[in-house]
Structure 1
Amino acid sequence: MPELNPAQTSAASIQPAIPATVWMLGIVSLLMDVSSEMINALLPLYLAGGIGASALGIGFIEGLSVAVATATKFLSGVLSDIGGRAKPLAVLGYGLGALSRLIFPWAVSLDQIVLAKAMDRIGKGIRGAPRDAIVAAVSPPEIRGASFGLRKSLDTLGGFIGPLVAIGAMILLAGDIPSVFWLAAIPAGLCMVVLVLFVKEPAGRHPIPRGSFRLAEAFRLNRAVWAVIGLASIIMLARFSEAFVLLKALEAGFMPAWVPLSLVIMHAAYGLTAFPVGRLSDRIGTYGLLLWSLGFLIAAHLMLAFAATVWAYVLGTVLWGLHMGFSQGLLGAMIAKATPDVLKGSAFGTFNLVTGAVVLAGNTLAGWLWHSAGSATPFLVGAGLSIVAMIGIASGPCRSSRG
């Protein structure tokens, strides 16, 4: 047998570096998430205390925000495939999110909050699929899980920093929530600078020929894509908005100014696991990791349902963050692997559309259960749905799926 060249053997064993575009998109996500979490960490308290909204109302607002976003997520993905360009849609989406930051500080009624949330969610809906399509387009298949995991980790680092900034601002500004909302506009503006100047449109992506694309084609994805979408829908139904986790903090003994600390803890667990889990999925596949994610979610639901102390609540938020880290990046990598290049935007758009509708139902249900049966009930129901999701994954077609 001919001897292998050591240099060739070494080169073959080295994975490609994560592209600079993925890093830049991660920084964009980080900055926007700092801004978002500065608002999201305080918005449930502002709605309940400053405006007088009920838990049912908060659940409806969270669900409505998702409903507005789902209509745009699908269309933005389709448009990025038709035009062959994803960056302009990403700029539009992040730009709307940045503009919404100028409405939150002025809002003194529920309808004004709904307007600001709608603009923010429309922006999120527009940018999500094109951004993920860019990540998929520039990432070699052998490191796709790592690329999606890195972007998620940087995004989650923003979710870690944002609540810390909100806590510091609440202390310095004597609990003035609208002033904290004003500060949230700064990282959103920086996000736009990085996106416009430093994110490059991937080369080699061609538009669908004019006249050859029909809207129905976007739904004609292969069975592997629909299997991932179905799997994600089960998981999303079991996990409702973090707004209810924040409301639970007050019952566990947190002072209002320190409630954002729960998001810091959650996003620390999320951010520290998303990237290594993404790398691990490139080697061993996603099946076992997704089952672990649901195990963490079941434990988080049960812990939060009965959390009567700060430490029990903190453990519940850590478990919730571990669930996010073990699931979010994997689903994006699975969609990217199962979809042909020409329909990647449509696949991510359809993924977001379907899972968004599921989240709308889950949030509304959680708000109604909290309002009518007490704060523990949504978490207990979530634990039951997580068990159903685990059984569905174990018996479904994704067992051999690789990231």
Structure 2
Amino acid sequence: MPPPARSPGSGPARPPLSAWRFVIWFGIVAMLADVVYEGARSITGPLLAGLGASAFTVGVVTGVGEASALALRLVSGPLADRTGRFWAWALAGYGLTVVSVPLLGLASVVWVAGALVIAERVGKAVRQPAKDTLLSHAAAVTGRGRGFAAHEALDQAGALVGPLAVAAVLAASGGDYGPALLALAVPGALALTVLVWLRVRVPHPARYETGEAAEQPRQRDRATPEAAGRLPGRFWVYATFAGLTMTGFATFGVLSFHLVEADLLPATAVPVLYAAAMVVDAVAAIATGWAYDLYGARVLVVLPIVAATVPALAFAPTVGLAVAGVLVWGAVLGVQESTLKATVADLVGPGRRATAFGVFGAVVGVAAAAGGALTGGLYETSVPLLVAVTGTVQAVALGVLLTVLRRARVRSPGRGGVGGTG
């Protein structure tokens, strides 16, 4: 007689929400929060420029902001793993973000506005490793690529609504940034309310990762470096690849600065274009997430290739090419925000996953700071030089990724995996 099948009742009880419902509700939290901070980010460049900032200053502030959102995860990730209080870290981070954005509407000098832009990004650093870890447990059931992609798609729905709402308030207020940013306090409060409800409803999301999906990572942990407190070598090579792609990738602050200062678009139209880029972001996330679960990390080969075209288009002197560049920028961002994370979850087991997300963010964050300053500085010097330098960086990134794909033939417990097939 064959052994009885593993039942959901064996071991710890499953959460009351299905894995997909958890992913969707967590995505709604991200969607509401994105209305807040993506609405603000859509006007960061023009806002700082209106307060007297140069292109270099915009590049540094937005670059340091992204670095803060990513590099500080080097602290928050290990602390989340050590304390196990993933929900507390998520709540604290979202709280900091939804407070900083409305205050940005009251800023009247560059240094205050810059500090608030960075503070909003610090909130993301506080929450993101814990949030990604919570999501990764449910994504072990739904499929890593699909789970992270669905979350990103909902996330970008908020990124679409936020800039459009800001654009509408800007038009109604005659271009006054204050009322537009203060209005974002409402979706921020809603995001925190839903997050608290979800935490009460599913206090232990790790219970999703049961059966074969969790058993394989645990078995691998016993024989791999992360079991002894280290992250695997293939993770570090992969993080190097991701960092290089960010070094050759411009922030939207610099892109929007070019659009306004070159008189290609009025400031009120920039949030609308940003919203369109977020639609492309969501579509790209879903497409690559589905492909990742089928074909593994090979799908990431398109990332540095497409990213290399962004500066050539986005910094063009004609509105058509510049708009096309921003839309391509959105597609690259969608891959970065979804499939790159899915790969991290497949490379590292649950016990060290928040640490891995934090370290990954730190590596990418240093690159983001360099990329913001690099593109801002080169923009003021020579656009052709900017295109050549960033294209070279992306070519090197592609070479590193190919090295990862050759050396790491690890099948994912979440269907796709690094070098695996679904």
TM tier, shorter chain?
0.7 to 0.9
Quote the residue 2:259 is aligned against: 249
Q: Are 2:235 and 1:225 equivalent residues in the alignment?
A: yes
How do residues 1-400 of structure 1 correspond to structure 2 at under 5 angstroms? 18-49=19-50, 51-140=51-140, 143-199=143-199, 200-204=202-206, 220-250=230-260, 251=262, 253-287=264-298, 289-305=299-315, 307-371=316-380, 373-375=381-383, 377-397=385-405, 400=409
Per-residue deviation, residues 19-73 of structure 1 (Å, max 9, x unmatched)? 2221122111111111112211112112112x10111111121122234334531
Distance verdict in 2 for CA 1:315–1:96, change over 3 Å: same
Separation in 1, partners of 2:317, 2:64: 30
SS of equivalent to 1:254: coil
Separation in 1, partners of 2:270, 2:119: 25
Per-residue deviation, residues 322-363 of structure 1 (Å, max 9, x unmatched)? 222334311111111111211111110111111111111111
Q: Indicate if the aligned counterparts of 1:141 and 1:337 stay in contact, CA closer than 8 A.
A: no
Partner amino acid, structure 1, of 2:272:
L
Per-residue deviation, residues 127-186 of structure 1 (Å, max 9, x unmatched)? 110000001122226611111111111112222221111211111111111111111222
Quote how far apart the aligned CAs of 1:107 are.
Answer: 0.7
TM-score by length of 1: 0.86
Separation in 2, partners of 1:375, 1:153: 32
Quote how far apart the aligned CAs of 1:252 are.
Answer: 5.9
Quote the residue 2:413 is aligned against: none
SS of equivalent to 1:106: coil
Matched residues, number: 374
Separation in 2, partners of 1:303, 1:76: 36
Partner amino acid, structure 2, of 1:231:
F
Separation in 2, partners of 1:40, 1:203: 31
Q: Indicate if the aligned counterparts of 2:59 and 2:373 stay in contact, CA closer than 8 A.
A: yes
Distance verdict in 2 for CA 1:218–1:95, change over 3 Å: farther
TM-score by length of 2: 0.83
Q: Sequence identity, in percent? A: 25
Q: Indicate if the aligned counterparts of 1:152 and 1:329 stay in contact, CA closer than 8 A.
A: yes
Partner amino acid, structure 2, of 1:53:
A
Quote how far apart the aligned CAs of 1:85 are.
Answer: 2.6
Distance verdict in 2 for CA 1:156–1:47, change over 3 Å: same
Separation in 2, partners of 1:383, 1:75: 32
Distance verdict in 2 for CA 1:170–1:204, change over 3 Å: closer
Separation in 1, partners of 2:228, 2:194: 31
Quote the residue 1:213 is aligned against: none
Q: Indicate if the aligned counterparts of 1:18 and 1:147 stay in contact, CA closer than 8 A.
A: no
Quote how far apart the aligned CAs of 1:203 are.
Answer: 4.4
Distance verdict in 2 for CA 1:204–1:258, change over 3 Å: closer
Partner amino acid, structure 2, of 1:392:
V
Deviates more, 1:195-204 or 1:28-37: 195-204
Partner amino acid, structure 2, of 1:370:
Y
Quote the residue 2:223 is aligned against: none
SS of equivalent to 1:190: helix
Separation in 1, partners of 2:384, 2:275: 22
Separation in 2, partners of 1:379, 1:262: 22
Separation in 1, partners of 2:351, 2:137: 10
Q: Indicate if the aligned counterparts of 1:227 and 1:397 stay in contact, CA closer than 8 A.
A: no
Separation in 1, partners of 2:303, 2:28: 25
Q: Indicate if the aligned counterparts of 1:246 and 1:262 stay in contact, CA closer than 8 A.
A: no
